[in-house]
Amino acid sequence: MHKIFLVFLIGCLSMLFAEVFSGASQAWFFNGWGILVTFPLYLAHLLFFLWIALKLKKTSLPQLYFFGIIFALYESWITKVIWMGYIDAGSPALGTLLGLGISEFPILTFFWHPIMSFIIPILTFEILTKKADSQHIWLLKKSTWKTSLIVIFLILIATFIVNGNQFSLLSANISLIGSLLLIFIFYFFSKKFNLKDFAFKRGWFITITIYLGILYLVTFFLLLPERIPPSILPYVSLLFFYILAIWLITKLKLKATRLVSLNRNHYSIKDLVIFALITILSVNFMGMIPQLSYALLGISYYLFWLVGVILFLTITYKIIFKKSF
């Protein structure tokens, strides 16, 4: 029964980093759509791909990255953003290439969902439980340059949060602090768990699979049906990325998940609290200077776009040519 807190914890982490940090969800925990649709969507995807990764012994960070890319492709079938642009924009901002949005596809598929919706929630969970996959330890080891990058990233992310909340500091603070409080509550009941506890029994995995299948089918035809692409090209392009991601995952060797305890040299709960406070302060600061915030948002968006493309090309190159990570 206590595993329900574990599930809610990882789900709230994904919602925080993916939806709240992007500004896409405002106080989702008070919103029917957020509770009944968005939260289960992120939770089910994360549990689905993490279960597969654990069962197949494919939990290295490059493998999780490509599982995250497959995760990201839901944006084609459900929201249709990858094909047709953001809902409030009406069309892809920079047009399309091979049927996919030039700006939307790379940032969502190569950066936002693999990193923010999938990998960072998993790494944060490992920090909270003080036990991590041995293949993740190198990234969780503290360093001055990593900490500096994290702080800069959080300051830039604050621009997404305040813009998504229409520069309402009340809304932005409720969204951010409320999500952090939920994470604290569920963490309180999940301290004794670890990453391996997500290797649920097969029956739970089948249930999640059925849910996702129904979700994809229903939303594709009933949610914004006018955004369904009329040509076959976008489908061919997406199929290519599905096949490529699966192939690259299988190219890396199997390695059983071995958990090791984190020590004082790794990021800790104390560090997470400091990062949370920096984010809250940054949100309130950026909310008071809309013009600067909006300018930084535009710069950050295309910076993350570039980072995503570089990440994808670098990891793909290293896997294909068997270079060390």
In sequence order, which residues have a C-beta less than 8 Å from that of residue 14 and are 6 or more positions away? 42, 43, 46, 117, 118, 121
pLDDT tens string 8-62: 999 999 999 999 999 999 999 999 999 999 999 999 999 999 999 999 999 999 9
Do 23 and 163 touch, CB atoms closer than 8 A? yes
pLDDT higher than 80, residue 256 = no
pLDDT higher than 80, residue 199 = yes
Taking the whole predicted model, whether its pTM rises above 0.85 is answered as yes
Q: How confident is the model at residue 261 (pLDDT cuts 50, 70, 90)?
A: very high
The C-alpha atoms of residue 283 and residue 71 are separated, in whole angstroms, by 28
Mean pLDDT across 170-177: 98
The percent of residues above 70 in pLDDT, for the chain, comes to 99
pLDDT higher than 90, residue 221 = yes
The C-alpha atoms of residue 289 and residue 167 are separated, in whole angstroms, by 9
For residue 119, count other CB atoms closer than 10 A to its CB. Answer: 20
Q: What is the pLDDT of residue 255?
A: 80
Q: What is the pLDDT of residue 254?
A: 77
Which residue has 């849910």 as its token pair? 211
Q: Which residues pair with 100 in a beta bridge?
A: 97
Per-residue buried b or exposed e for 162-172, using 16+ beta carbons within 10 Å of the residue's own CB: bbbbebeeebb
Q: What is the pLDDT of residue 2?
A: 72
Give the largest Cα separation in the chain, rounded.
55
* Average pLDDT across the chain, whole number: 95
**What residue type is assigned to position 324 of the chain?**
S
Least confident span in 146-155, 211-220, 252-261, 305-314: 252-261
For residue 3, count other CB atoms closer than 10 A to its CB. Answer: 14
Q: What is the pLDDT of residue 60?
A: 95
pLDDT higher than 80, residue 324 = no
pLDDT higher than 70, residue 67 = yes
**What residue type is assigned to position 311 of the chain?**
L
Do 54 and 199 touch, CB atoms closer than 8 A? yes
Do 237 and 100 touch, CB atoms closer than 8 A? yes
Q: Using alpha carbons, select from 102, 159, 168 the residue that is nearest to residue 295.
A: 159
For residue 61, count other CB atoms closer than 10 A to its CB. Answer: 16
pLDDT tens string 80-133: 999 999 988 778 989 999 999 999 999 999 999 999 999 999 999 999 999 999
In sequence order, which residues have a C-beta less than 8 Å from that of residue 74 and are 6 or more positions away? 41, 45, 216
The C-alpha atoms of residue 81 and residue 75 are separated, in whole angstroms, by 6
Paired tokens of 62: 């490059």
Q: How confident is the model at residue 325 (pLDDT cuts 50, 70, 90)?
A: low
Q: What is the pLDDT of residue 1?
A: 58
The C-alpha atoms of residue 95 and residue 90 are separated, in whole angstroms, by 11
